[in-house]
Structure 1
């Protein structure tokens, strides 16, 4: 075996090891969620359930389940809340960031460069810094403990505007100028020319926004005080605080949280990678 072949074999082995290290925790999460109560803490801990059961999912999800969790914390409504909020955040976020990215890339207006630099500065600021001022601001207008208050901070995400701008910069100015000469308005140019060309970027941004909203824990925890309005991560955390020893139930909750976004990513991965390439940095 030559040096080139040996390197190829070592590289493949390294990639395989990394893949196994990535997938193994996910597989263990699923297998533990199918174990009976107390099986996961046995010594040595099993990797595969000897007697698979869906009891943990029934206890977690059914409104009238046998255990206290589904009755007390209403996990199924929390899933509905998370889905509704994630969908609304995605649709509203796209409605704001797509036009903003196009404006920063192709329109000429006073203060465009300083404003964009300000956005870049805000992008590197930790989000935790703004939590207290944001809470006080929304409280003053009565949006705390409302879904509007949960949605408001992430609607015009800076990273989304920058991401769209970088993709729009790749569209030739000559194409847009030709449409203007033909009498097309800026809105018509944006909707009929720019948006179709940004399909991979739009799907990628929608995926980012949905995942961010679905998995967001800190801000819904601060903004929502009514258990009936809990999102899924907050509801599962509430269960975990009182029943932290029930590993199997917690893993069932982790599967319920992870599986939808994993399937969504796998379904849209073709657009995701294409969008990441389209949104690459351009001067």
Structure 2
């Protein structure tokens, strides 16, 4: 009986989580007038190609996807490098004020992101980077949570393993690449999923930092589809479905490393 109960509960949770995605996929194939009809149309329609073509005409879908993918990939890769290097320094090097700097770093986690938008905007504007890729990427390279996660995970890495590599003549960068990165791969994969998700779905900062439609990312471009009098929800549904696909694919590819990284973070002190 317990087995059937557990199966029923898991099936209900799966339906609750997957139901909105299924409705989104089905709505993307229907005309605007049919999306909110009653009873709901939980079956494929014939408007997917037309909705996609209309969306391309409205926001330049391919260009917007290219902008979003480029910013998300570069920002994720850069933030991973910065987090790993900073976490490695905090975990494995003794320097004056290390604990003080780490506490100051952690204190930034309680600062709402909206508070920093104006200073960051003024900084980007002063150096002439507004409405450019660097304006979108550079602020996202500093991720205090990523540094914290790397530092906590690296504390469990034996110093003897690093010392053995140094005795063999390896420099610090070689030790980092040959010893630390392979061990930290699950944690890096888990952090990469979180970073990519945040960069891909970021709306507020690109909305403020960008001015020309050719530079828009997908969330900003989709927001322009909301009209005062009428909104073509067929386009919106297609765009929303497309914006969800990369995260689903990324998670399916990295799910083993993602789960391993979460378990490692839960068991390492």
TM-score, length-normalised on structure 1? 0.89
- Is 1:166–1:280's contact at 8 Å kept on the other side of the alignment? no
**Are 2:149 and 1:163 equivalent residues in the alignment?**
yes
1:50-85 deviations in whole A, cap 9, x for unaligned? Answer: 546421112213xxxxxxxx2x43222111100111
Residue 192 (structure 1) aligned to one of 173, 178, 186: 178
Alpha-carbon deviation of 1:134?
A: 1.3
Partner of 2:11: 16
Report the Cα distance in structure 1 between the residues aligned to 2:201 and 2:127, rounded to whole angstroms. 26
Alpha-carbon deviation of 1:131?
A: 0.9
Alpha-carbon deviation of 1:244?
A: 5.2
Partner of 2:140: 154
Report the Cα distance in structure 2 between the residues aligned to 1:276 and 1:241, rounded to whole angstroms. 41
- Is 1:164–1:279's contact at 8 Å kept on the other side of the alignment? no
Specify whether residues 76 and 184 from structure 1 end up closer, same or farther in structure 2 by C-alpha distance, changes over 3 A only.
Answer: closer
State how 1:1-283 maps to structure 2 within 5 Å: 5=1, 7-49=2-44, 51=46, 53-61=48-56, 70=57, 72-241=58-227, 245-280=231-266, 282-283=268-269
1:102-143 deviations in whole A, cap 9, x for unaligned? Answer: 111111111110111111110122111111111112111111
Specify whether residues 281 and 160 from structure 1 end up closer, same or farther in structure 2 by C-alpha distance, changes over 3 A only.
Answer: farther
Specify whether residues 243 and 22 from structure 1 end up closer, same or farther in structure 2 by C-alpha distance, changes over 3 A only.
Answer: farther
Alpha-carbon deviation of 1:35?
A: 1.0
* SS of corresponding position for 2:231: coil
Please say which of residues 106-115 and 72-81 is displaced more in the overlay.
Answer: 72-81
TM-score, length-normalised on structure 2? 0.93
Alpha-carbon deviation of 1:281?
A: 6.2
1:8-57 deviations in whole A, cap 9, x for unaligned? Answer: 43333222111101001000000010113311122333222454642111
Report the Cα distance in structure 1 between the residues aligned to 2:115 and 2:59, rounded to whole angstroms. 30
Structure 2: stretches of 5+ with no match in the other structure? none
Q: CA RMSD in A?
A: 1.8
Please say which of residues 172-181 and 111-120 is displaced more in the overlay.
Answer: 172-181
Report the Cα distance in structure 2 between the residues aligned to 1:207 and 1:127, rounded to whole angstroms. 20
- Is 1:28–1:47's contact at 8 Å kept on the other side of the alignment? yes
Alpha-carbon deviation of 1:241?
A: 3.5
- Is 1:138–1:144's contact at 8 Å kept on the other side of the alignment? yes
Alpha-carbon deviation of 1:185?
A: 2.8
* SS of corresponding position for 1:239: coil
